[in-house]
Protein backbone atom coordinates (compact mmCIF):
# COMPACT_ATOMS: atom_id res chain seq x y z
CA UNK A 1 0.00 0.00 0.00
CA UNK A 2 1.94 2.98 -1.25
CA UNK A 3 -0.74 5.65 -1.10
CA UNK A 4 -2.30 6.86 2.15
CA UNK A 5 -5.17 9.15 2.96
CA UNK A 6 -6.24 11.74 0.37
CA UNK A 7 -4.02 10.06 -2.23
CA UNK A 8 -0.83 11.26 -0.54
CA UNK A 9 2.04 8.72 -0.53
CA UNK A 10 3.06 7.27 2.82
CA UNK A 11 6.60 8.57 2.49
CA UNK A 12 5.22 12.14 2.60
CA UNK A 13 3.50 11.35 5.90
CA UNK A 14 6.77 9.80 7.11
CA UNK A 15 8.68 12.95 6.22
CA UNK A 16 6.15 15.16 8.01
CA UNK A 17 6.27 12.89 11.07
CA UNK A 18 10.06 13.02 11.06
CA UNK A 19 10.04 16.81 10.92
CA UNK A 20 7.59 16.97 13.83
CA UNK A 21 9.76 14.52 15.81
CA UNK A 22 12.82 16.68 15.22
CA UNK A 23 10.86 19.76 16.27
CA UNK A 24 9.73 18.18 19.52
CA UNK A 25 13.26 16.84 20.05
CA UNK A 26 14.62 20.38 19.90
CA UNK A 27 11.77 22.19 21.67
CA UNK A 28 10.16 20.39 24.59
CA UNK A 29 6.70 21.15 25.90
CA UNK A 30 6.71 22.25 29.53
CA UNK A 31 3.77 21.13 31.67
CA UNK A 32 3.74 24.57 33.29
CA UNK A 33 5.61 27.79 32.69
CA UNK A 34 9.00 27.75 34.41
CA UNK A 35 8.91 23.96 34.91
CA UNK A 36 11.93 22.66 36.85
CA UNK A 37 13.22 19.74 34.79
CA UNK A 38 16.09 18.96 37.15
CA UNK A 39 13.83 18.22 40.13
CA UNK A 40 12.23 15.21 38.44
CA UNK A 41 13.22 11.57 38.77
CA UNK A 42 15.13 10.32 35.74
CA UNK A 43 12.27 8.19 34.41
CA UNK A 44 9.80 11.11 34.52
CA UNK A 45 12.31 13.43 32.88
CA UNK A 46 12.78 10.91 30.05
CA UNK A 47 9.03 10.49 29.61
CA UNK A 48 8.24 14.21 29.62
CA UNK A 49 11.22 15.26 27.55
CA UNK A 50 11.56 12.53 24.94
CA UNK A 51 8.41 10.39 24.63
CA UNK A 52 6.48 12.92 22.54
CA UNK A 53 9.28 13.01 20.00
CA UNK A 54 9.59 9.23 20.15
CA UNK A 55 5.88 8.86 19.36
CA UNK A 56 6.40 10.78 16.12
CA UNK A 57 9.40 8.60 15.26
CA UNK A 58 7.25 5.49 15.65
CA UNK A 59 4.61 7.07 13.42
CA UNK A 60 7.33 7.85 10.88
CA UNK A 61 8.50 4.23 10.99
CA UNK A 62 4.91 3.03 10.59
CA UNK A 63 4.42 5.23 7.53
CA UNK A 64 7.66 3.96 5.98
CA UNK A 65 6.59 0.38 6.61
CA UNK A 66 3.27 1.12 4.93
CA UNK A 67 5.14 2.45 1.92
CA UNK A 68 7.90 -0.15 1.58
CA UNK A 69 6.65 -3.19 3.47
CA UNK A 70 3.90 -4.74 1.38
CA UNK A 71 1.43 -6.99 3.18
CA UNK A 72 3.80 -7.96 5.98
CA UNK A 73 4.72 -4.30 6.38
CA UNK A 74 1.07 -3.53 7.11
CA UNK A 75 1.17 -5.71 10.24
CA UNK A 76 4.46 -4.17 11.36
CA UNK A 77 3.12 -0.68 10.68
CA UNK A 78 0.10 -1.36 12.86
CA UNK A 79 2.39 -2.61 15.64
CA UNK A 80 4.58 0.50 15.38
CA UNK A 81 1.55 2.76 15.46
CA UNK A 82 0.06 0.99 18.48
CA UNK A 83 3.39 1.24 20.30
CA UNK A 84 3.40 4.95 19.47
CA UNK A 85 -0.11 5.23 20.90
CA UNK A 86 0.97 3.47 24.11
CA UNK A 87 3.94 5.82 24.50
CA UNK A 88 1.68 8.80 23.87
CA UNK A 89 -0.75 7.68 26.58
CA UNK A 90 2.13 7.30 29.04
CA UNK A 91 3.37 10.76 28.06
CA UNK A 92 -0.08 12.32 28.49
CA UNK A 93 -0.60 10.76 31.91
CA UNK A 94 2.75 12.07 33.18
CA UNK A 95 2.21 15.45 31.53
CA UNK A 96 -1.21 16.06 33.07
CA UNK A 97 -0.13 14.74 36.47
CA UNK A 98 2.70 17.28 36.48
CA UNK A 99 0.39 19.99 35.25
CA UNK A 100 -2.13 19.25 38.02
CA UNK A 101 0.58 19.56 40.72
CA UNK A 102 1.24 23.22 39.98
CA UNK A 103 -0.93 25.98 41.39
CA UNK A 104 -2.94 27.95 38.87
Candidates 62, 51, 65, 66; CA nearest to 21 is: 51
Cα pseudo-dihedral 70, 74, 79, 81, rounded to 10: 110
Q: What is the pLDDT along the chain (104 residues), one digit of tens a residue?
A: 677 778 888 889 999 999 999 999 998 888 888 888 788 889 988 999 999 999 999 999 998 898 887 778 888 888 998 999 999 999 999 999 888 887 66
Q: Rounded distance, CA 29 to CA 92, Å? A: 11
Statement: the pTM of the whole predicted model exceeds 0.75: yes
Report the pLDDT value the prediction gives residue 33, as an integer from 0 to 100. 83
Amino acid sequence: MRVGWFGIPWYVYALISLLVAIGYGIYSIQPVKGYNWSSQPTWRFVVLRWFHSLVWLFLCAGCLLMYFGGEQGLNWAKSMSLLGLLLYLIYLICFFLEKSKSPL
